[in-house]
Amino acid sequence: MPQNERTNTADTEQIQISMLGSFQLRCGDKIVEDSGSRARQLWNVLEYLIAFRNKDISHSELLETLWPNDETDNFANTLKSLIYRIRTTLNNSGIPLAKDMIVYKRGVYSWNNSLNTVVDCEVFEALVKQASNINLSSNERIELYLNAIQLYKGDFLPNSAYEAWVIPLSTYYHNLYIKCVRDAVALLKEFSRYDEIITICEAAIIIDPFEEPVHQSLIHAWVMLGNSQKALAHYEYVTQLFYRELGVKPSEHLRSAYRDIIKTVSHVETDIEIIKEDLREASQTTGAFYCEYEVFKNMYQLEARSTSRTGRTVFIALLTVTTENQQTPDIKLLNFGMERLLETICNSLRRGDVIARFSATQYVLMLPSLTYENGQMVLKRIIKQFKKSNSHVPLVICSNLQPLDPVSP
């Protein structure tokens, strides 16, 4: 009797297989897990057979997919040995019906689908498909999306992430998960379920820290719950993350989220002394004022209005970090250089001067009450001090200085 006809789904325990976040095969109270780099070929074959369990897989396909550079003439025996080792590993772990899980028929290996098998990525995909049905009620769709999100513990087979056959599947499930999160958040917003949005988004940014719309939704949820401090802290975290890891400045959408934060007020305060205390800087604060670019823009606009009336001179300076051949430095070098340059700028300017990061490679400065010549001297001093303190760093600081354009009365 062929192996795949020995068993019946009705009288076997359910085999629960996880492939999202890690590989795990559970049957009853017995569990076997991918042990990482050890016995890599063994797990690679088992995972492939499960991932494509609804198709028959020939010797040649296994060879081309799993060992594309292997030119051995004895592949059939190698594969037979690996299948034997898989069965032995499962059996030694106490997994019921371990020897029946992989079947061989007419020269083809496959997973035994007569066994009661549930695979998390298949369930996840089915739930997302159901949730996408716009004919369902919003609450029904939300429930399906939340169930799908709960299943996604991480990307597909992370221990096999560099296998050629895993990469497209990992990308597919990852993109499906992000879409699932964004669609769920959109529906939850309709019912002002912001606590759940926060929970979903916090989990999602652990899986993908560079998915900007998820950060925006998280910030928005905190704003809507009146927690401006958490919203602001997360905005600052994500802008620094994008500068540090990707070398990009926040998008207009993210800056818009920041503007939403600074417009919110969590409560009404009638005691002006409390407001003054909140506004007051610590007395020990020294050096220039460093702020977000959105704040810098507001301060610039205020200065532009006042200088047309007072006649006070204000200069805007731009400092740009480049390599010695005028190229953008790699991320690691750029991050180091920008941190050291900010430190130098803060120590070189007065308390009335203002600094903001304009882009991944640039700081913009507002220098009031200076002549053009004095402004140039300030920039030369910053560059000289940077070179002195970082003589081993192959970076060049380029400067530009222009007067602020006053607003016509």
The tens digit of pLDDT for each residue in 123-164 reads 999 999 999 999 999 999 999 999 999 999 999 999 888 888
Q: With respect to CATH, is domain 287-403 assigned 3.30.420.10?
A: no
Is residue 301 pLDDT above 90, yes or no? no
- Start-end of CATH 1.10.10.10 domains in the chain: 1-186
Cβ distance 312 to 368 under 8 Å?
A: yes
- Start-end of CATH 3.30.70.270 domains in the chain: 287-403
Report strand pairing: 289-291 vs 354-359. parallel
Indicate the DSSP class of residue 247.
Answer: -
- Start-end of CATH 1.25.40.10 domains in the chain: 192-264
Q: What is the pLDDT of residues 83-115, one digit of tens each?
A: 899 999 999 989 988 889 998 887 788 899 999
Q: Does 69 or 19 have the greater pLDDT score?
A: 19
92: how many CB neighbours lie within 10 A of its CB?
10
| Residues above pLDDT 70, as percent of the chain | 88
Helix spans in 191-325 (H): 194-207, 212-224, 228-241, 252-263, 272-279, 293-310
What is the rounded distance in angstroms from the CA atom of residue 289 to the CA atom of residue 160?
Answer: 48
What is the rounded distance in angstroms from the CA atom of residue 324 to the CA atom of residue 281?
Answer: 39
Task: Choose the weakest-confidence range: 11-25, 168-182, 295-309.
Answer: 295-309
What is the rounded distance in angstroms from the CA atom of residue 401 to the CA atom of residue 317?
Answer: 4
Six token digits for residue 39: 């016995």
- Name the CATH code of domain 192-264 (choices 1.20.120.50, 1.20.120.140, 3.30.450.90, 1.25.40.10): 1.25.40.10
Q: Is the dihedral of CA 119, 125, 128, 133 positive or negative?
A: negative
Which of 67-76, 175-184, 235-244, 322-331 reaches the highest mean pLDDT? 175-184
Task: Choose the weakest-confidence range: 33-37, 112-116, 335-339, 366-370.
Answer: 33-37
Cβ distance 219 to 232 under 8 Å?
A: no
Q: Does 269 or 363 have the greater pLDDT score?
A: 363
Instruction: Please indicate, yes or no, whether the overall pTM of this predicted structure exceeds 0.85.
Output: no
Q: With respect to CATH, is domain 1-186 assigned 3.40.718.10?
A: no
Which residues, in sequence order, are bridge partners of residue 156? 20
Q: What is the pLDDT of residue 87?
A: 92
